[in-house]
Amino acid sequence: NKNKMSKKYENGYQGKIQYWTGQLNAEVMNTKTPDIQVIRKCLNKLEYFVGRQESLGLSTTNVIGGVDFTDTLDMLNNLKIS
């Protein structure tokens, strides 16, 4: 079963990280009033997949399609979500 997972994600979770970063960015940047629940879901998914990526010993990057999302992620990390 572990081999099955290894083959499925042999390049790590970068695709999942890119997808959820895109979803997060779209909600924050393209929505008049961002939905905090959508933001929370995206952040939870990103935390999970980044952790999985790190556990594989593979690096993560905040660049997707040539766009660096580091500033966006930093801003979101500084949000106070209650």
Nearest by Cα to 76 from 14, 19, 18, 29: 29
Q: 47: which 2 tokens?
A: 């935390």
| Cβ within 8 Å of residue 13, ≥6 positions away | 49, 50, 52, 53, 56
Q: What is the pLDDT of residue 64?
A: 63
Q: What is the pLDDT of residue 77?
A: 72
Q: What is the pLDDT of residue 75?
A: 74
Q: What is the pLDDT of residue 40?
A: 92
Give the integer Cα–Cα distance in Å for 44 and 28. Answer: 15
The model's pLDDT over 6-65, given as tens digits with 9 standing for 90+, comes to 556 666 888 898 899 999 999 988 778 889 999 999 999 999 998 888 787 766 666 666
Q: What is the pLDDT of residue 71?
A: 75
Give the integer Cα–Cα distance in Å for 71 and 48. Answer: 20
Give the integer Cα–Cα distance in Å for 38 and 30. Answer: 13
